[in-house]
Structure 1
Amino acid sequence: MTVATAPEAPTLELSADLLVAEIEHYLAARVRTTAHPLVTKTTAELIAEALGTPAAAPAPAPAFTEPPRLLRLLPDWVLSVPLVRQLHGGYGRTVTPAEHLELTALVIERYGWTQGTHRSRSGRRCILGAQAVLYRLGYGDDRTVAAAADHLQDALAARGIHQPYHQWNDDPNRSRDQVLALVREAASAARSTR
């Protein structure tokens, strides 16, 4: 009898540069959707149209490449060291709790999901691990992360679950799809409470 197994997520370790490029690409795409609903063009497109010049093409999504060996060996806390941040372009920006949760889902989706640890050797992340790397990269501050955590807890409470979300993540019966659904549900709730 043949047993089917779930496809493995990429076994590549997290690269700060690659993750930042993906986050910035994601946030740039979100700018268009957060404009007034009657505005269908970006500011750059409107300016180009007014000046009669062609608008610049949107940047393509970053290609996934093998991260540098050094970044695979360094722990995540190193990402928050000012010198390391400067070497990688001083990334980070203010994000809303909803965006922080959307980026948390992006990290889990892109680098894989794990249980029982914030980060596996292959770069997979639990919910807390994904939030931690975003925080260390500068995408959200203490208040942003705390508000995102509150939205996660509220989403669990709406399901009748009262354990902390990091314990819920580590339940042996939990799946990656369930985790992503919870994070996205919390992000949706956070968007509606702005």
Structure 2
Amino acid sequence: MGTALLLPVPLALTPEGVALVAEIETYLATLPARPVVPYVCPLGSAQQLWNAGYPAPAPTLLNRLARRPARPVPVTVADHLQLASRYMTAFGWTQGRLWDSAGRVCLLGAQAAVLAHGYGTPTTVLRGRVQVMEVLHATGRPHASPDRFNDTPGTRQADVHHLLDRASARALSLGI
């Protein structure tokens, strides 16, 4: 049994099509020359740690002697929300619980994990949740809490990442 090889049909341009192509090429020739720089998506698939670019909390000698954790790394509210999104990307997302046995986290679980790893303070987390609530209400999704939005049937991981991204941008614009 033979298989037929399907070749692409040659493109035949009408005179109007040829004129349109010429018009586009003429327009493009008037644009200033710019070096070609490939676009790299900030949410790309390159493997990196969820906290890449942020210093790890480092205990001092006194902290080690007193057997206490290092001081938290100060982060802005915008950074905290970005870290929560990155943590969720690295470990996975879940609904209906803070985390599951596979290590996946919900929105609140991601915020708690970022805090537990020594980034920010409880106040940073609270201010981040306020920004998330502001975005939810501004976009017509008046949920009682970010956790309710996370656990709503039909909410996808991408929706949570988008929400965190918008809340982070809002916090950045407010300088917090």
Report the TM-score, using the length of structure 1 for normalisation: 0.56
Which residue, out of 106, 109, 112, partners 1:126? 106
Matched residue SS, 1:26:
coil
Which residue, out of 80, 99, 121, partners 2:79? 99
Which residue, out of 143, 153, 162, partners 1:172? 153
Q: If you compute each CA radius of gyration, which structure gives the higher value, 1 or 2? A: 2
| Deviation at residue 91 of structure 1 after TM alignment | 7.0
| Deviation at residue 22 of structure 1 after TM alignment | 4.0
RMSD: 2.1
- Aligned residue pairs: how many? 117
The code of the aligned residue for 1:105 comes to: S
Which residue, out of 53, 67, 81, partners 1:26? 53
Pair 84,176 (structure 1): closer, same or farther in 2 beyond 3 Å: farther
Of Structure 1 and Structure 2, which has the larger fraction of its residues in helix?
1
2:4 corresponds to which residue?
none
| Deviation at residue 181 of structure 1 after TM alignment | 0.3
8 A Cα contact 2:135 2:166, kept in partner: yes
1:183 corresponds to which residue?
164
- Give unmatched runs, 5+ long, in structure 1: 1-18, 29-81
2:23 corresponds to which residue?
none
Matched residue SS, 1:115:
coil
Cα distance between partner residues in 2 of 1:132 and 1:106: 13
Aligned residues with identical type, % of pairs: 30
8 A Cα contact 1:155 1:185, kept in partner: yes
| Deviation at residue 84 of structure 1 after TM alignment | 7.7
1:135 corresponds to which residue?
115
Counterparts of residues 30-109 of structure 1 (less than 5 Å) = 83=67, 85=69, 90=70, 92-109=72-89
Matched residue SS, 2:103:
coil
The code of the aligned residue for 1:167 comes to: R
1:5 corresponds to which residue?
none
Cα distance between partner residues in 2 of 1:186 and 1:83: 36
Cα distance between partner residues in 1 of 2:77 and 2:151: 23
- Give unmatched runs, 5+ long, in structure 2: 1-47, 56-65
Per-residue CA shift, 1:130-176, capped at 9, x if unaligned?
Answer: 00111122211121111100100011011111211100100111101
Cα distance between partner residues in 2 of 1:107 and 1:26: 13
Cα distance between partner residues in 1 of 2:53 and 2:166: 18
Cα distance between partner residues in 2 of 1:121 and 1:84: 27
Pair 95,168 (structure 1): closer, same or farther in 2 beyond 3 Å: same
Cα distance between partner residues in 2 of 1:188 and 1:95: 15
Cα distance between partner residues in 1 of 2:106 and 2:165: 14
Cα distance between partner residues in 1 of 2:155 and 2:119: 27
Report the TM-score, using the length of structure 2 for normalisation: 0.61
Cα distance between partner residues in 2 of 1:133 and 1:113: 13
The code of the aligned residue for 2:172 comes to: R
